[in-house]
Structure 1
Amino acid sequence: MPQKETLPASIFRRIDLRILVLLSVAYIINCIDRANISFAHLSMTADLHLSEADYGLAVGIFYLGYVLFELPAAWFFSRIGARRSFSRIMILWGLAGMAMFFCTDKTQFYGLRFLLGVFEAGFSPLALYFLSLWYPANKMGRAISIQQLAGPLSGVIVSILSGVILASMQNVWGISGWRWMFVLESFPAICLGIWILLFLPERPQAASWLTQDEKTILLKHLPAPKKTETFTPTLHMRSLFTLIVPYIFIVCGNDIFSFWLPHFLQSTHIQSHMTIGVLSSIPYLFATLTMLTAGRLADSAATTRRTLCAIFCLCGAGALAFLAYHGASLGSVLACSTVGLASLYGAYVVFWTLPSSVASRPPSATDFAVINTCGMIAGVLCPIIVGKLATVTGSFAPAELGTAVLMLCAAAFLTIPYVKKSYNQSKTQ
């Protein structure tokens, strides 16, 4: 009998409320602390004497810290548990973000961005892995799409909130608005980190809000937990390779919009930070709706997830290519950014349902971390290359066209046939 008919909906309503909502809010704060630099970029470059190449390097340095410490974060997760891991990560990144208030030169800027990457390392893949401890495979698409809504939803929030803070807090007590922005937007991470430390259950067995019968029913539909987590991946190398390559290209496409959208809008002769903030929220609103749709499609058509992800990549490639030739028009920037962001977030949601589709056994926390680490390597290089190209050529068109080609490669790679016996299929036979 299908799992969705044997598992009471009341169980997942409580898991949604106690686990999914919590991780979604945490990820919203995570995305805000990571992306608010794109708004600080509008005014802090003059204060710190930064070029576009300097800014791109700072973005890349963040990912360098993330890459270097992501696998150790996964290892510590298996040793100290989810509650202390998530709490440690959030409190430390909140402190690093607030420390930007005191940044006075380029060197300090680079150092704090590196520390932010170090402290945030592991949060996103570990959150996805943690969801897999609570949701069976046929419900992971929905769970991931809701939790990953934090990406575009945080884009809406950070666009409007940062615009308001930059406009209203400028020169308060003689301090620049971007400094206040970092303090106000980083503080919630510390508060939520403390809450997680006190109240987050490690696994369904430890959830006081589930009855013993409900725990027993739920655990029958979840992969058996490993007694110990190794520091090496459990997925076959071919399985990892088929996931890593397209994910690297998806990250490159997303970085273009995430870190330069406000600048693209400003380049169309809009000077008001408030207006830029409101306009920046529009693409993220559409991306939110796309993610919800993508998650449901991934659950209802599990056998075509790779094709669905490839279609989203093709749409993102088209948006980037069009933006390269029509980036001077406000209407074109908004249209391309909306289609591009929505497509890339849709690809992102569908992508994270793939580990269970190409794996011959249940993926581990280390598997999620390895995949995400390789994607973050692209996050190190892509912003640096984009910033350098923009400084040298005076245009973002070469970087946009190059990234469009990468998205085409991602789509092509995802359509390569790959047949295997899924561990989910073997469980149901």
Structure 2
Amino acid sequence: MSRSSTVAVAYDCLFPYSTGGGERQYRAFADELGRRGLEVDYLTAVQWEGATPVEERFRIRPVTGRLSLYSADGVRRIPAALRYAAALFRALVRRRRRYAAVIVSGLPIFNVFAARLALLGSGTRLVVDYLEVWHRRQWVEYSGAVTGTIAWVLQRAAIAITPLATCHSQLSATRLRREGLRRPPVVSPGLIDGAVDVAAPSPATTPPYVLYVGRHIPDKRVEALPAAVAAARAGIPDLRLVVLGTGPSSDAVRAEVRRVGGDEWTDFPGFVSDAELDTLLHGALCLANPSRREGYGLVVVEANAHGTPVVLVADEGNAATELIDDGVNGVVAPSTRPDDLARAIRAVADGGDDLRRTSRAWYDTAVGTRTIRRTVEGILSALPLPTPAAVKTKEDTP
């Protein structure tokens, strides 16, 4: 194919070989670009055993070997981020005139400098996708005073040299402008990766349970849930808690369960299959995510697809709350205090089947407008690129 129809997506992880919101998003970008007839290279690190996997709509190009991305406490390791950025720089220098555009993740921030420097003078358009944008205090809390301040300064510098930025919430858009972005970012309508084929909403399973899905790291504040469920059990005596995933905070979560006497009503299945996850999502009273920060909040969409309402916590770094219509598809608690979260859980229980129907209705509306397809359309329109004729997708079908 010609340069005009060849695009690269650059991120150090790739779903399903590693899991997370960013992994799923960038894979979906590559899939959608390939579906439109573009030739797509996915520039990543090795995360699989044996030969490089073959994908239908894009080519996986490992630019570096396997990386140890996170420290024991769940913080991104700087050496791994630097190693990937250096490898990305070398790969883009070699192919600097092959690509019409490169879409690179703005996290870790070193990616931006590597891509910008490698592509200078090449004519290749650079798009930096910002999953999240942090202010200085967040960086300091995440990485410590010295490292966090340096990271914040680097973020500001990266934003200043970003030619075209994309993001996925009004929170991130506002922060990008405050941190020095020189032109308005492209704000995506959403990140839904096609319609989910699930059964119609049904009543919550008996006994009811609150479900958590995700990694156990400090920013997710999973340890707030046991006390909240214990408080909610005053009005819902048979309520249970199901905690999926693991991570650096798992011991703290288990300690909280013991502290509130929750061993008899808490389950820790760890990581489960997709089929098991669907079953748990479909039957949960609610999905609770007390995270302090989210760049988008795809878990809201996934739960609502099953008719399951979502309980979130208001926080200045939590863009997922933008997806909640209070009392329609979930409830936003004002804090992680047990009484606040318990009130939100009880409100969901009081909403009953009507709230489950409106949660699914919210999803049915969103799946027509808040999609990866619409987001990719916005990116291509902002470049713009001469692209092959788009391939017909489900969303084109009447």
Same fold? TM cut 0.5: no
Structure with larger RCO (C-alpha < 8 A, sep 6+): 1
Flag the structure with higher strand content: 2
- Higher helix content, 1 or 2: 1
TM-score (normalised: structure 2): 0.30
